[in-house]
Copies of this chain bind each other. A is one copy, B any other.
Amino acid sequence: MQEREHGAEPGTEPGNGCEAGGQEEMEHRNLRVIEALLFASDEPLCVGEMAPFLEEGVNAEQLLDQLARQYAGRGVNLVQRGERWAFRTAADLGFLLRRTEKETRSMSRAALETMAIIAYHQPVTRAEIEEIRGVASGRGTLDMLMEAGWVRMRGRRRTPGRPVTYGTTPEFLDHFSLSSLGDLPGLEELKGAGLLSSRLPPEMQIPLPFEGELADDEDPLEDDDPVLATGGEG
């Protein structure tokens, strides 16, 4: 273990002749000092701050360039920020410093119901969702479902006010292991599964989810639609 910390220096080659060896050794020492100083510093350092630790008369700039080249292909690079130098994670490895932590939550009843309505009734507007639920639902629920990646804005209904229409995403199908929206059970299947009681009025229907690109009364969302900028209905 100790060897690792004070180990041999593979970069130095012995037998280069005394003077060259001495110079090389000095350079190596200076490089090590710069390396250690920059590593331990809590902020980027300028040459002036490092000079007192280096042998006199040494060309610090040149040493820094040399060090930067040595670290060029590594996971950490020596970078210049204005007049100052610092070690930073290589730009292409930046993803290592960004982590997403998944947190699973159980869905609220409001979210489940809204999700189900969107699945069966799409393309559906917010007003329609509220009508079916019989409760005014907050913006939060729809936002959350969109954030979860299960719901998307499809377009705008060609009716007064041009309300936004909502639908499901491929991730929705994926999550619930549905190969298509047509796999959602219909009225009879729900009854058969005991999810719907048999004493429902005959008028009650469960829509066949719409799978097409756009419904007849639906306009696509233009790229410049304000709703896309705000991420939700204004």
Say how many copies of this protein the assembly contains. 2
**Which residues of chain B come closer than 8 Å to A93, judged between CB atoms?**
32-33, 36
Question: Is A215 among interface residues, defined by CB-CB distance under 8 A?
Answer: no
**Which residues of chain B come closer than 8 Å to A73, judged between CB atoms?**
7-12, 28, 32
**Chain A, interface residues (CB within 8 Å), range:** 35 or more
Cα distance A8–B90 in the bound complex, in angstroms: 12
Cα distance A28–B37 in the bound complex, in angstroms: 26
Cα distance A209–B179 in the bound complex, in angstroms: 60
The answer to whether residues A75 and B32 also contact, given A6-B91, A37-B96, A40-B96 and a CB cut-off of 8 A, is yes
> Are the C-beta atoms of B5 and A74 separated by less than 8 Å?
no
The answer to whether residues A5 and B76 also contact, given A89-B39, A93-B33 and a CB cut-off of 8 A, is no
Considering the complex of A and B, which 10 residue pairs feature the smallest CB-CB distances, nearest first?
A: A9-B73, A7-B72, A35-B75, A32-B75, A36-B75, A1-B179, A36-B89, A39-B76, A36-B93, A5-B77
Residues of A in contact with B (beta carbons under 8 Å apart): 1-12, 28, 31-37, 39-40, 53, 68-80, 87-93, 96-97, 177, 179-180, 182-183
Report 20 cross-chain contacts, Cβ distance below 8 Å, ordered by A residue: A1-B183, A4-B68, A4-B77, A5-B72, A5-B88, A7-B72, A9-B72, A9-B73, A10-B70, A10-B73, A31-B75, A33-B93, A35-B76, A36-B75, A36-B76, A36-B93, A37-B97, A39-B75, A40-B97, A53-B96
